[in-house]
Amino acid sequence: MIFDCAGKSLDLSVPRIMGIINVTPDSFSDGGKFFDRDAALKQAEKLISDGADILDIGGESTRPGSDIVAEQEEIERVAPVIEMISAEFDIPISIDTMKPGVMTAAVKAGAGLINDVNALRMEGALEAAVELNVPVCLMHMQGTPQTMQQEPHYDDVVTEVKTFLLERVDTCLKAGIKAEHIMLDPGFGFGKRARHNLRLMKHLSVLTDLPYPVLVGVSRKSIIGDMLKVSVDERLAGSLSLASIATWQGAKLIRTHDVKETYQAVKLSQAVMQVEDFD
Ligand SMILES: Cn1c(SCC(=O)Nc2ccccc2)nc2c(=O)[nH]c(N)nc21
């Protein structure tokens, strides 16, 4: 269960932590045009020292209703940051993008895993992923970031998400993606109401029982806000609670803003899971 991310290895035999670095205007306090690349390097350093096993770098916000970013603009945001971080640190880097051109530029710059919230459905994305020959995370999303939260509807969200992911796996395998390069993700908050997110968490083992590692991203998300009625900066405890529930059910990668605390929570659930039952 070791993922070779362009020469940097990610051992998913135990639950691991994916730290988030957003290189988007809405993620930099000044909201300025010029992202402070030193800030990104500093953040990488902190996430690594806090225990991150991989860093997820994204140049286009995929929050509900977010603006679409042009491919060239997205490349200009992420490539220099990936270059800098991969030159400075040994940690594997994933590129959070739906665009094939960004995938290619990011891997050339040093990224070793494609994290595609659109599960390689964009024109040219699957071909690019095959060509790049790096691991890929296939995530479920209903609709697009622009439309997904308008009227999400499912007859049976767990079955529909599982079916979607297995269909994407089949398409990927047929196109030449290696089975050992595939990771699955239910896509919490991507075209789901609160009850859909809770059901997916309750029945996560439907996905973790499949022969692919499962990535879970619930950090600070609406699944927590909907239940606790708290703002984004008040969602740490909820995030940690769900990270524990996810790892308890077999999730192998937890995507989080709060690496240090998530590392600690995951460490405990893992210790409970793997303690021997004999002296
Ligand atoms: C790139 N990316 C995202 S961005 C959305 C986000 O964090 N929203 C958000 C962040 C903070 C507060 C509220 C919402 N979520 C996932 C995920 O769940 N899985 C995978 N694989 N990739 C992902």
Q: What is the ipTM of this complex?
A: 0.99
Q: How far apart are CA 261 and CA 263, in angstroms?
A: 5
> Of ligand 1's atoms, which has the minimum distance to the CA of residue 235?
12
CATH 3.20.20.20 fits 2-270, yes or no: yes
Using the mean position of ligand 1's atoms as its centre, give its distance from the Cα of residue 61 in Å.
9
The answer, yes or no, to whether any atom of ligand 1 lies below 6 A from the CB of 115, is yes
Question: Would you state the pLDDT for residue 28?
Answer: 53
Question: Would you state the pLDDT for residue 219?
Answer: 98
Using the mean position of ligand 1's atoms as its centre, give its distance from the Cα of residue 218 in Å.
7
Pocket test for ligand 1, best of 55, 56, 62 (most atoms within 8 A of CB): 62
Question: Would you state the pLDDT for residue 39?
Answer: 86
Average per-residue pLDDT in the chain? 95
What amino acid positions are annotated as catalytic residues? 221, 255
> Of ligand 1's atoms, which has the minimum distance to the CA of residue 188?
18
pTM greater than the 0.90 cutoff:
yes
The ranges of the chain with pLDDT < 70 are 27-35
Pocket test for ligand 1, best of 24, 94, 219 (most atoms within 8 A of CB): 219
Using the mean position of ligand 1's atoms as its centre, give its distance from the Cα of residue 217 in Å.
6
Question: Would you state the pLDDT for residue 31?
Answer: 47
Pocket test for ligand 1, best of 103, 165, 207, 220 (most atoms within 8 A of CB): 220
Per-residue pLDDT tens digits for 120-152: 999 999 999 999 999 999 999 999 999 999 999
Using the mean position of ligand 1's atoms as its centre, give its distance from the Cα of residue 62 in Å.
7
Question: Would you state the pLDDT for residue 231?
Answer: 97
**Pick from 57, 61, 168: which is nearest to 113 by CA?**
57
The answer, yes or no, to whether any atom of ligand 1 lies below 6 A from the CB of 221, is yes
Three-state SS annotation for the chain: CEEEECCEEEECCCCEEEEEEECCHHHCCCCCCCCCHHHHHHHHHHHHHCCCCEEEEECCCCCCCCCCCCHHHHHHHHHHHHHHHHHHCCCCEEEECCCHHHHHHHHHHCCCEEEECCCCCCCCHHHHHHHHCCCEEEECCCCCCCCCCCCCCCCCHHHHHHHHHHHHHHHHHHHCCCHHHEEEECCCCCCCCHHHHHHHHHCCHHHHCCCCCEEEECCCCHHHHHHHCCCHHHCHHHHHHHHHHHHHCCCCEEEECCHHHHHHHHHHHHHHHHCCCCC
> Of ligand 1's atoms, which has the minimum distance to the CA of residue 137?
21
